[in-house]
Each structure stands twice: as structure tokens, then as C-alpha cells.
Structure 1
């Protein structure tokens, strides 16, 4: 039987010096991470060679920057990122942002800048 997982029990890591990530599911074929970005923070622009990702906002507002513009994803909305598509996550709001990142296959080790 599988045990419930949460940010209280999941493996935690820090990225971008001020952002948090929790590995809710980490397997060979699938990764699900909950992330927190403080107000005004942003990730590094990058792309993935193999991983297809889906970002789903739990709280706050995610601005996803692409080469041809930006998409604003609000609470209870998501956006798919295809392999090879350069993107950059930003929190342009004044409050914390929490979202899920689902990657298939897992994106760690697949990141290109």
C-alpha cells in the first residue's frame, strides 16, 4: 500500500536561491513536484530535450515567458510545455505562487540553457 505524500514528508530542495521544490513523486517515467516561488522571483530560461511538462497553478499567478510572448496562468489553470520549447517561469505578482510541475519523463538532468 502506498503512503500519502505531502510537502511535509516529501524530499525538499531549493532552486533559484529563494524558491522551494518538493518531490511528490519521483520515478523513472514520471515526476510530480510542488514548487513555491516568492513574489518577484523567477527561474532561469531553459528548455528540455525529452521532457514534456505540465504546470498547474494551485495558488497565485504564474507568468510563463516564451520566445514569442508570455502566458499568465492563474489559480486552477495549467499550461503544457512541449520538449524543445524554451520557457521561463516568473512570479510577477506581490504574493507567493504555488504550482505543480508534472514531467514525463522526469526533467532533472534533461535541462538545457
Structure 2
């Protein structure tokens, strides 16, 4: 029997400053995350060499900066981020943002400076899980 997936039963992981996420689906070829970001929170700017993402807003309003261009996403809106694009999510609203992050393949993020140059590599996997080389 195929299990029903939800944030209530999925593996939880903390990320960023006071942000939460749940692995709804974690497979080397496909990752589906539900993430929550409190008001005013911002993730570190990063990119992925091979992974592509689709961000889809479930609640709140966020600004997703991609290669220096700002995109405001509201409930029911999404944005595709291609491999190699530097991106950063910021919750500009006064309510918690909830969004899905659908990625293929699942892998590592490369942190960047404000100018977009790489500074380090950081795993974006659950604590205790080994990062993959899929990215």
C-alpha cells in the first residue's frame, strides 16, 4: 500500500533561523519539501549546480530573488528556479509563510556572497543524513 504523506507524519528538520521543514518525499531523483518561514525570516543566498526547484506558496507572501531579480509570490503562485541560478527566499509578510519546494535531483546547495560568487558548500538535507553528490 502506498502511504499518504503529510507534514504531520513526515520527517521534520529545522533550517535557517527559526524555520521548519518536512520531507514529504525524499528520493535521489526527486524531493518534495514543505517549509515554514516566520515573518521577516530570510534564507542564505545559494545555488545548485544540477538541481532545479519549483517553489509553490501555500500560505503567506514571499519574495524569491533569483539571479538578482525579485519575484513576489502569493498564495497559489510558484516559480521555477533553474540549475546554477543563485536564489534566496525572504518572508516579507507579517504572517508565517508556507511553501512547497519540489526539486530534482535532490542534492547540496552552494552558498554564495551577495555578488553571487561561491563561498562554501552546505548540505540541504535533514540533520544526520549524509549529503548526496547528485548536485
TM range, smaller chain: over 0.9
Q: Which has the higher contact order (CA 8 A, sep 6+)?
A: 1
The whole-number CA distance in structure 1 between the counterparts of 2:69 and 2:3 is 41
Q: Give the secondary-structure state (helix, strand or coil) at the position aligned to 1:83.
A: coil
Query: 1:111 maps to what in 2?
Result: 109
5 Å-filtered alignment, 1:58-69, equals: 58-69=58-69
Q: Deviations over 1:26-59 (max 9, x none)?
A: 0121000000000000100000011000000001
Paired residues for 1:36-55 under 5 Å: 36-55=36-55
Residue equivalent to 1:88: 88
Q: Deviations over 1:4-44 (max 9, x none)?
A: 11111000000013000000000121000000000000100
SS in 1 for 2:35: strand
How far off its partner does 1:97 sit? 0.2
Q: Which runs of 4+ in 1 moved over 3 A?
A: none
Instruction: Please tell me whether the aligned partners of residues 62 and 90 of structure 2 are also in contact (alpha carbons under 8 angstroms).
Output: yes
Give the number of aligned pairs.
111
5+ long unaligned stretches in structure 1: none
- Cα distance in 1 for partners of 2:68, 2:13 equals 31
**C-alpha distance in 2, partners of 1:86/1:92?**
19
Structure 2, gaps ≥5 residues long: 112-135
TM-score, length of structure 1 as denominator length = 0.94
